[in-house]
Amino acid sequence: AKPVPKGKAKVEEEVEAPPPLNPQYTGASRWVVPAQGAVELVVLFQSPEVGTFTETLGFQVLGGERLVSVPCTGACDYPHISTDYRTVYYRKVKARPPSPSVSRQFIVSKGLFEFGPLLVGKDITGYDTGAHPANTAKFRITNNG
């Protein structure tokens, strides 16, 4: 290899990153890591209580005396459903229009959703497959937790 002149960095060849490993539970507590290699470790977290939990994972080379500690933090919380009308309702108007037939719109000034006419007197068959589109509305439910 030719010496690199001062002030100029040596350009290394690009090495292709290995493909991501598929996480699989093996229950193993020992791994063989090849030289210049890596082992993907998947940590599963579950808690019956709400809160933030911190534990330390310890790793050691077989026959070695050095312990490597890796802090691991997990958080558990209840879902927080968005209550912002801008994200929940697809159709919204600032004030109720003067026409009597307001249907499937959120009225911002009143803070309420106008459902419009109901399915009274209509055939019930097919309502779950969208047979009556004038009597259906979509809402967006978002978890902000």
Give the start-to-end residue ranges of the domains of the chain: 85-135
The answer to whether the CB of 107 falls within 8 A of the CB of 85 is no
* Nearest by Cα to 144 from 59, 63, 67, 84: 84
Residue 69 has pLDDT above 50, yes or no: yes
pLDDT of residue 60: 85
Give me the chain's average pLDDT, please.
79
List pLDDT tens digits, range 114-128. Answer: 887 776 777 777 777
Residue with tokens 């290899």: 1
pTM of the complete model: 0.47
List pLDDT tens digits, range 83-93. Answer: 899 999 988 88
CA distance 33 to 21: 14
CA distance 39 to 33: 6
φ/ψ (deg, to 5) at 25: -80, 120
pLDDT of residue 71: 93
